[in-house]
A and B are shown apart, each in its own frame.
Chain A
Amino acid sequence: MFIINCPYCGDRDQTEFTCHGEAHIARPTETEQLSDEQWGEYIFFRTNPKGMHYERWVHAHGCRRWFNALRNTATDEIFATYEVGAAKPALPEGES
């Protein structure tokens, strides 16, 4: 159990939130020119790192807003939460 800081509601319990995978994946703009391989890349392939990961979260039982978080997938430590559309926060020193 840990506490997650919702950018809108502040500190709330983990059980109010759900995680929805990697963040900052932009939809291709010229979709009619994509090959099947490029579509597959966009839809199915994720980095799945052991370590620092930018991810999408939703405050499902709270304000129901989506936001992004920077989390270490190995230790579960959350380094930042920020609104969708905001720039990626920098990685903390010593992390990659």
Chain B
Amino acid sequence: MVNVELQTPLNGQTFSIEGLSLNEMPSCSKISLRGDAAQLSSAIESVAGVPSVSGANRFSTASDNTQFWMGPDERLMYSNSPDAAALVQSLKQQLPAGKSAVVDVSDYYTVLRLSGDKARDVLASGTPFDIHPDNFKQGDCAQIRYGNASILLSRVAESAYDLQVRWSFAEYLWKYLCKVARYV
């Protein structure tokens, strides 16, 4: 059997200047779920132990597993378990067939983590979205535009943000962030 090595679009690169650090997170299983919101929540909770999100544009985390609100009938789940296919199977068993969809999107996206005192300024330079803490608190997530890329932004800590971006846009976003970082 061929030994397949897992790769990410940016090969786990890192970048840092004073007050800012940027790195690509290790790959994780990502699963997109569509269906009735209450049923999705209970399925995710029973399979991954993640409590349901507390409202629109929020995410919740439990032991490295996360679920994001993506729409009124859509959730996205991150899991540290490398076997996404098995997760999809166990989620499907919890959900009514024909009225829900569970799709493995692990290789569709990658996640960059931006942290440090300058992180907010760097973000503000590329998006029309209001990331002031009054509007975007810890535990909030938002699907927004950054430069020309559509990203899922989530505030994981006071000054740390995760940016989920499509694989094909990862290099663009990386270069954009690094360039902006020199000016803020």
> Which residue numbers of A lie inside 8 Å of B, CB to CB?
1, 8-13, 15-16, 61-65
Contacts and interface: CB of A to CB of B under 8 A. Distances in A.
Interface residues of B, number: 14
Contacts of B74: 63
B145 A8 contact: no
Interface of B: 56-57, 70-72, 74, 128-130, 142-145, 150
Nearest to B145: A61
Question: Nearest 7 CB-CB pairs, A to B?
Answer: A13-B128, A63-B71, A61-B145, A62-B143, A61-B150, A65-B71, A8-B72
A60 to B, nearest CB: 8
A82 to B, nearest CB: 14
A44 B145 CA distance: 33
B67 to A, nearest CB: 15
Contact of B142 (A9, A64, A65): A9
A8 B58 CA distance: 12
Contacts of B143: 9, 61-64
SS class, residues of chain B in contact with chain A: strand
A8 B130 CA distance: 16
Contact of B129 (A8, A13, A65): A13
Contacts of B130: 11
A15 B145 CA distance: 8
B57 A15 contact: no
6 contacts: A8-B71, A8-B72, A9-B143, A10-B56, A12-B129, A65-B71
Contact of B57 (A1, A9, A61): A9
A58 to B, nearest CB: 12
B66 to A, nearest CB: 18
A89 to B, nearest CB: 20
Contact of A15 (B56, B71, B128): B128
A8 B143 CA distance: 12
A16 B149 CA distance: 11
Given A12-B128, A16-B144, A63-B143, 13 more contacts: A1-B128, A8-B56, A8-B72, A9-B56, A9-B143, A10-B57, A11-B130, A12-B129, A13-B129, A16-B128, A16-B145, A63-B71, A64-B143
Contact of A64 (B57, B71, B128, B144): B71
B71 A61 contact: no
B59 to A, nearest CB: 14
A45 to B, nearest CB: 32
